[in-house]
């Protein structure tokens, strides 16, 4: 189709100046630039302005029109939707007077009557970073169509953009975190349902699964150490250009308990098993690069190395990773392993393929076990203490796992590893498969996830569990309440019978035997099942109330060392200072119904007040 459009400076001259343009009324810019700096976990990215150039299908030769030119377009938010009331400024490249306009409620703007020449175009709006200067060469009578895309100003810019040494930048990063601006700007771009909850005060924003990045969502880490190391934002160093982050935290915990006999009197409760004391649970240091899975244009990659030191290494240790600190390391007091130790709890590569489904992440290395509401690393949990449901299942695996996001609804995972808590080179490693399926609905408010996490022969070894999981997350409408529910069934075959002295030689260190039904049996089948439920309520931007209840049936006593049913009941409060300091006090009551499991096997009940403080750096 051909269209005829008149372009004129004034009244009756329109007919004399009209021209016929094939399918176009203006020379258009065919695209807007995306933000040029990586997005941080607080949703930061630089403002970008489209580079002006003729549109697809339009002649590269400006249409003959009167000498005055023009500029028009749409101002847009990071998601590409029209953004109103944005100030667009055009000034001569030689410093001549500027012309400005403000876009309308539909995001449309226009500036006419521009003389031929070189111009610089910028755009500004409160809560957003200023756009980089976009050069524009305007010929006589030429009009350009330029879309302006804005995004929230980088947190790193506001925190570390000033000059000064490392320690001044670090101090300012904390100050800015604890005194944030009233208007933090829009959310960072993402692909998928909107995040159902917020962090803080909760440990995540999107319902979690292990073994992958959150495909379609931006990276969510921006800690003071990284910001300080990046230096002056006007001259980014190689770390920032490479999108490499360095950060961590220290987690200090304490408890007051009705148990007091023995070194680990609070067990089988975890992680604070040493009763009535303070303990360094975790001190971590991360080195990582997170692939950009929001974009779908190109392959990207990432990696993570997580170094953990503290008491909690006793729970994360896998055979073959410095495991001599814990396994086969008896102490004079009858306990096993060092009190504190080191564990490289995560060490993996991420390979992101955007053209498989709506994105595929292939993770290779040592990673957190795929299912579970809870996780090993302190900030990834609702509460300080862990449920028994979590404490006595699989923690980490080393292998390869592929996660494919097929749509906003469906996600699948499939992988191979050396088994739970076993490096592939360790003597207890066994080729182990996993397959998991997740379904999300209700605009992201609900997620159901089921997983066969350890598929192998399931014969007795160090944590060689066959485990089958289901989890369900649900947000209650638009309220501040949500819930998380998990259940699993797991077992080991051919487990040595602790009631039969002849089976003693079959037992492995740190791998409990079973209380078999028949005393004469050397081995038996050892199953257990558990269920845990969280109900959470956000109280303001920085506080949350968490209630957790669970039932755990250690049918043969293979996991906890006691053949009994348990219930635990916990109420916790989370309070955040900025995003870099969190306090989590809680009150917990445990019951063992069929045997005295607490206080070194002396009590059936245990009441504990516990609390921790996590300091991020």
Residues 488, 607, single domain; the answer is yes
Q: Show Cβ contacts of residue 2 under 8 Å, excluding neighbours closer than 6 positions.
A: 20, 22, 23
Of 97, 116, 149, the residue that ends a domain is: 149
Domain count, the chain: 2
Asked if residue 12 belongs to a domain, the reply is no
Residues 474, 600, single domain; the answer is yes
Q: Show Cβ contacts of residue 276 under 8 Å, excluding neighbours closer than 6 positions.
A: 255, 256, 257, 260
pTM exceeding the 0.85 threshold for the entire prediction: no
Asked if residue 207 belongs to a domain, the reply is no
Asked if residue 370 belongs to a domain, the reply is yes
Residues 510, 361, single domain; the answer is yes
Residues 265, 117, single domain; the answer is no
Asked if residue 303 belongs to a domain, the reply is yes
Residues 543, 421, single domain; the answer is yes
Long-range Cβ pairs for the range 504-512 (8 Å, 24+): 506/460, 508/460, 508/461, 508/462, 509/327, 509/328, 509/336, 510/326, 510/327, 510/336, 510/462, 511/460, 511/461, 511/462, 511/463, 512/557, 512/558, 512/559, 512/560, 512/561
- Of 488, 497, 427, 487, the closest CA to residue 454 belongs to 488
pLDDT, tens only, 408-417 = 999 999 999 9
Q: Which two tokens stand for residue 183?
A: 């208007």
Angle at CA of residue 617, ends 279 and 361, nearest 5° = 100
Residues 323, 435, single domain; the answer is yes
Asked if residue 452 belongs to a domain, the reply is yes
Task: Scan for tokens 């043969």, then name that residue.
Answer: 556
Domain extent for 442:
248-616
Do 89 and 124 form a contact (C-beta atoms < 8 A)?
A: yes
Asked if residue 243 belongs to a domain, the reply is no
Assign residue 319 the CATH number of its domain.
2.40.160.10
Assign residue 88 the CATH number of its domain.
2.60.40.10
Angle at CA of residue 249, ends 39 and 474, nearest 5° = 65
Asked if residue 227 belongs to a domain, the reply is no
Q: Show Cβ contacts of residue 334 under 8 Å, excluding neighbours closer than 6 positions.
A: none
- Of 94, 130, 97, 129, the closest CA to residue 113 belongs to 97
Distances (CA, A) of 540 to 52, 307, 574: 44, 33, 11
Q: Which residues of the chain carry a pLDDT beneath 50?
A: 1-66, 155-162
Q: Which two tokens stand for residue 292?
A: 């950009």
- Which residues in 301-314 are b (16+ Cβ under 10 Å) and which e? ebbbebbbbbbbbb
Rounded CA separation 612/615 (Å): 10
Residues 372, 495, single domain; the answer is yes
Q: Which two tokens stand for residue 280?
A: 């360094």
Q: Which two tokens stand for residue 450?
A: 């089921």
- What is the structure's pLDDT at 233? 59
Of 149, 175, 199, the residue that ends a domain is: 149
- Of 371, 410, 448, 43, the closest CA to residue 212 belongs to 371
pLDDT, tens only, 528-584 = 999 999 999 999 999 999 999 999 999 999 999 999 999 999 999 999 999 999 999
Asked if residue 605 belongs to a domain, the reply is yes
Of 149, 179, 198, the residue that ends a domain is: 149
- Which residues in 425-455 are b (16+ Cβ under 10 Å) and which e? ebebbbebebebebebeeebbbbbbebbbbb
- What is the structure's pLDDT at 62? 44
């Amino acid at each position: 189709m051909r269209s005829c459009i008149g372009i004129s400076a004034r009244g009756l001259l329109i007919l004399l100046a009209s021209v016929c343009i094939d399918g176009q009324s203006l020379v258009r810019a065919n695209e807007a630039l995306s933000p040029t700096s990586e997005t941080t976990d607080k949703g930061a990215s630089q403002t970008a302005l489209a580079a002006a150039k003729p549109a697809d299908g339009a002649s590269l030769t400006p249409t003959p029109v009167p000498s005055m030119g023009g500029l028009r377009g749409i101002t847009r938010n990071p998601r590409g939707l029209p953004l109103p009331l944005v100030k667009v400024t055009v000034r001569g490249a030689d410093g001549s007077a500027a012309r400005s306009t403000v876009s309308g409620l539909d995001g449309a703007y226009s500036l006419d009557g521009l003389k031929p020449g070189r111009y610089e175009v910028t755009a500004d709006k409160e809560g957003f970073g200023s756009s980089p200067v976009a050069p524009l060469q305007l010929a006589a009578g030429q009009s350009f169509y330029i879309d302006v895309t804005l995004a929230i100003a980088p947190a790193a810019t506001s925190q570390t953009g000033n000059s000064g040494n490392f320690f001044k930048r670090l101090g300012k990063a904390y100050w800015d975190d604890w005194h944030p601006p009233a208007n933090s700007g829009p959310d960072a771009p993402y692909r998928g349902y909107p995040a159902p909850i917020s962090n803080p005060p909760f440990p995540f924003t999107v319902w979690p699964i292990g073994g992958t990045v959150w495909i379609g969502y931006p990276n969510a880490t921006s800690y003071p150490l990284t910001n300080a190391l990046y230096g002056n934002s006007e001259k980014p160093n190689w770390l920032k250009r490479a999108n490499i982050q360095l950060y961590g935290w220290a987690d200090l915990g304490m408890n007051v308990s009705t148990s007091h006999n023995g070194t680990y009197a609070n067990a089988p409760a975890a992680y604070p098993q040493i009763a009535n004391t303070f303990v360094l649970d975790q001190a971590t240091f991360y080195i990582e690069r997170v692939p950009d899975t929001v974009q779908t244009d190109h392959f990207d990659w990432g990696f993570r190395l997580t170094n953990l030191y503290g008491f909690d290494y006793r729970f994360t240790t896998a055979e073959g990773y410095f495991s001599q600190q814990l396994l086969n390391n008896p102490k004079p007091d009858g306990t096993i392993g060092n009190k504190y130790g080191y564990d490289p709890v995560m060490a993996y590569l991420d390979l992101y393929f955007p053209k498989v489904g709506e994105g595929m992440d292939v993770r290779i290395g040592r990673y957190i076990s795929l299912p579970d509401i809870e996780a090993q690393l302190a900030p990834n949990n609702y509460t300080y203490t862990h449920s028994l449901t979590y404490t006595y299942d699989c923690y980490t695996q080393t292998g390869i796992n592929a996660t494919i996001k097929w749509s906003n609804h469906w996600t699948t995972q499939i992988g191979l590893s050396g088994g739970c808590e076993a490096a592939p080179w360790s003597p207890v490693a066994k080729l182990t498969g996993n397959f998991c399926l997740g379904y999300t609905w209700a605009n992201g408010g609900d997620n159901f996830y089921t997983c066969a996490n350890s598929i192998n022969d399931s014969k007795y070894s160090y944590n060689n569990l066959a485990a089958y999981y289901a989890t369900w997350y649900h947000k209650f409408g638009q309220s501040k309440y949500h819930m998380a529910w998990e259940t699993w069934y797991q077992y080991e075959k051919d487990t040595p019978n602790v009631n039969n002295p002849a089976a003693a030689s079959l037992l492995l260190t740190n791998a409990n035997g079973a209380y078999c039904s028949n005393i004469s049996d050397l081995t038996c089948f050892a199953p257990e099942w558990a269920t845990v439920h969280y109900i959470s309520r956000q109280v303001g931007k920085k506080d949350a109330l968490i209630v957790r209840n669970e039932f755990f049936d250690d049918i043969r006593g293979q996991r906890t060392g006691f053949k009994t049913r348990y219930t635990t009941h916990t109420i916790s409060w989370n309070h955040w200072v900025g995003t870099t300091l969190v306090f989590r006090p809680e009150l917990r009551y445990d019951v063992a119904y069929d045997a005295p499991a607490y206080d070194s096997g002396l009590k059936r009940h245990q009441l504990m007040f516990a609390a921790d403080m996590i300091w991020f750096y």
